[in-house]
Amino acid sequence: MKPEEGRKRVIIEAIQPQIDCGRYPTRRIVGDQIAISAAIFSDGHDHVAARLLFKHESERQWRSTSMTALGNDLWSANFTVEQLGAWTYAIQAWVDHFDTWCDDLKKRLAAQPDPSSPDLAKRDLPPQDIPVAFEIGAQLLDQTAARAGASGRESKSADVKRLKTIAASLRALASQKLPLYEYPLSPEIEHLAARYPDLAFASDAKELHLWVDRERARFSSWYELFPRSTSPDPTRHGTFADVELLLPEIAGMGFDILYLPPIHPIGMAFRKGPNNTPSTDPGDPGSPWAIGSPEGGHKAIHPRLGTFADFDHLVAAVRANGMELALDIAFQCSPDHPWVKQHPDWFLHRPDGTIQYAENPPKKYQDIYPLNFESPDWKALWDELRSVFQFWIHRGVRVFRVDNPHTKAFAFWEWCLADLRTEAPDVIFLAEAFTRPHVMYALAKGGYTQSYTYFTWRTEKSELQAYFEEITKPPVSDFFTPNVWPNTPDILHASLQTGDRPAFMQRVILATTLAASYGIYGPAFELCENVPVRPGSEEYLNSEKYQVRHWDRSAAHSIAPLIARLNQIRRTNPALQSDLSLHFHEVDNPQLIAYSKSAPGVDGGPPNVILTVVNLDPHNEQAGWVDLDLKQLGIGHDEFFDVEDLLTSAHYQWHDRSNYVALRPAIMPAHVLRVTRKTDTSGMLDIRNI
């Protein structure tokens, strides 16, 4: 088919970043500089030029910046995103006739014979038609002046006059018919002409989209607790007021998000007892995820936790302690939920007319009815689910952890999350989706800010490295932000069951240094709770999901001081606040893993470089030689440098690539080292770090 305009000769392809050919927005953080690249070329030998167009959703006019040729038809440009929300960017490219003419003229001038030169071969070159070339350049400048006059720029009058003057001077040179010419234009004049390109036949690439989140979307530390287990009185159900009493302690540990499991009324029908037993006693509280009773559903509060006034007070108190409150949104219902009677079509019915409860064979959840996203009344269902988020957003909540989002329709999430962000662009959604990679990635593309990961089950050095290299590098990192959890109320991994306290230390060090966002389920984690309900199970014995627990938060074996130290290290070292610089280094012992992160220095200062070495064996001391990628650390070969262990404040002098490490897990299973270049090498005789 003949194109509508066949004179558009420039090809634009391989634009990066883009997600699924532009189907989904790329994700970035406020303040990021966005690097855009593309392959841009045309037929023949004419030069091309290109510019990057970009704008925030609130802007009507495009902003632009020139793209730079990198060689081999690759071009790039950067722009900075200063606002939350949706951004659009595009590339426009065209044949640059004036720049082509400039280059051609330089070649002609270089080839013109010099009458005074004894170089006969050069004097025998054919005439270069320099006067004709000057006339062509003058015509191009006249056209440029006309575009400048129509551009609407404030300075257009001066530019028009300057361009016409230059065109006249070229014509004057052409009329002189001199035996030898010099190049008549300055770089300033070339730049002036480039300000008014001929876009009549410019090629325009498809518009692409960015979603820009706030900083906490990239860097966050989550602490999960069950409010009902916070009472200082073992005989009493915990309340929001009890949670408030713990806020200084949790904030003091360095967490910035306090996450609460569902706070709604819990159904009585098929209520689960301790350790997920199907039979209950009258005092058993049931699972918070069995949401809904005659007292209300997803927009109600369990009466034993407090009132809405108490909740609002908690939200303010959390904020006053430098944190944010995150709520769990679980779209499932107890058989007692009001929706079951009001909207029976929202649920899947079995042939006998009963509603299908949730199952994950061999597990059965008789206390939970899943929603049916193929319901004939799906539009009303979507609206109601969206309204749940809106309800809590209007009460000041800006962070949500969403339970099992992969069991709900992807189209719903894409619509719902985008719609919610139109009124609250600062909202953060964490997907609790322990599922297949493509499913996790689809949720991220569809709008989830962060996602749980497979970190919990990655314990070997090779699998840790392979997995984190996948999720922290493009193309995955352009849309997927990991949030790593060493434990959850559902998952007590075998490594924690058998590794005792050193395993908990090891896993939290890995979590806090491998990923910019992480979380723990506490106080089970800091108190090293590691007894499963039965051998081979990942369920806790006496799980808080089914009963109220009372914790001795001051126990001597608590690793809370270590967690607090790690969070403090993360806050004071920008290198640990992003995942994009993660780089693994070789170690000759498979039980030792080494990796670094870096960030540019502040106000021209030295870069912040953190090197972490972890012993993956919770039972035995492991030692080995770390083979450093010195270029990645900014260290020269044969150079001495200082490393400070931020966990112990010890300093060591290291030298060149190979350095020795030995780690005893019961004492401290890792080094978190700040790397500093050192010019004074006096006294640096012991280069081993033991």
Active-site residues: which are they? 403, 432
Q: Is 114 exposed, middle or buried (0-12, 13-18, 19+ CB in 10 A)?
A: exposed
Residues 68 and 55: their CA atoms lie apart, in Å, by 20
Candidates 514, 509, 484, 512; CA nearest to 499 is: 509
Distance of CA 542 to the CA centre of its chain: 36
Sheet holding 651-655, edge to edge: 651-655, 640-645, 670-677, 608-615, 592-599, 583-587, 622-627, 658-663
Residues 34 and 425: their CA atoms lie apart, in Å, by 19
- Quote the DSSP letter at residue 604: G
Residues 121 and 118: their CA atoms lie apart, in Å, by 9
Residues 515 and 391: their CA atoms lie apart, in Å, by 31
CA distances from 316 to 240, 309, 471, 483, 519 (A): 12, 11, 35, 25, 22
Residues 491 and 257: their CA atoms lie apart, in Å, by 20
CB atoms within 10 A of CB 309: 9
Task: Output the DSSP codes for 234-302.
Answer: TTS---HHHHHHHHHHHHHTT-SEEEE---S-B--TT---GGG-S---TT----TTSB-BTTBSTTS--
CB 10 within 8 A of CB 94: yes
Could you tell me whether strands 428-432 and 450-451 are parallel, antiparallel, or unpaired per DSSP bridges? Answer: parallel
Candidates 451, 403, 446, 396; CA nearest to 426 is: 396
CA distances from 346 to 93, 180, 354, 428, 679 (A): 51, 87, 13, 27, 70
Q: Is the dihedral of CA 649, 651, 656, 658 positive or negative?
A: negative
- The token duo for 586 is 């070789």
Candidates 211, 213, 208; CA nearest to 89 is: 208
Mention every residue, 6+ apart, whose C-beta is less than 8 A from residue 455: 467, 482, 484, 485, 486, 510, 511, 514, 515
